[in-house]
Amino acid sequence: MQNKSAAPLINYGTPAPTTQTPTPSQSAAIVRAAQSSSLGMILVANNGMTLYRFTKDAAGVSNCTGQCATLWPPFVLTANQALTAGTGVSGTLATITRADGSSQLTYNGQPLYYWSGDTKPGDTNGQNFNGVWFVVNP
């Protein structure tokens, strides 16, 4: 049964079948800048995976949950992980508490995500996805 008052569904894409959510190392910078051949300097996690922002988020609030968060995994930190910026990162790193209680990394107030369609460091397959997902520039 369809609920006519519900907001329209957003196509978040289809996840890559073998993609795993990257886990940041606790001993290194958790975010650094990297050069993309097509997009200039972008933010990546310490494992080289590209980080994205969702334009439907508000500063300090993640609006990507459920299926969205499956396809666009939030950059979640462990309790003892330090907010350490690497080379080229000039903005502010902080965290927000997601609805599930996990701690998501933010950059200048914007929650950070991975894209399940990126399978190796340097991939930027989520850039401009549906006009609402974009790489993060330092």
Give residue 19's pLDDT: 39
Q: Is pLDDT of 11 > 80?
A: no
CA distance 114 to 108: 17
Helix locations, 1-138, DSSP H: 67-71
pLDDT digits (tens, 9 = 90+) for 12-66: 344 443 334 444 444 457 999 999 999 999 999 999 999 999 999 998 899 999 9
Closest CA to 92 of 74, 105, 77: 105
Predicted TM-score (pTM) of this structure: 0.81
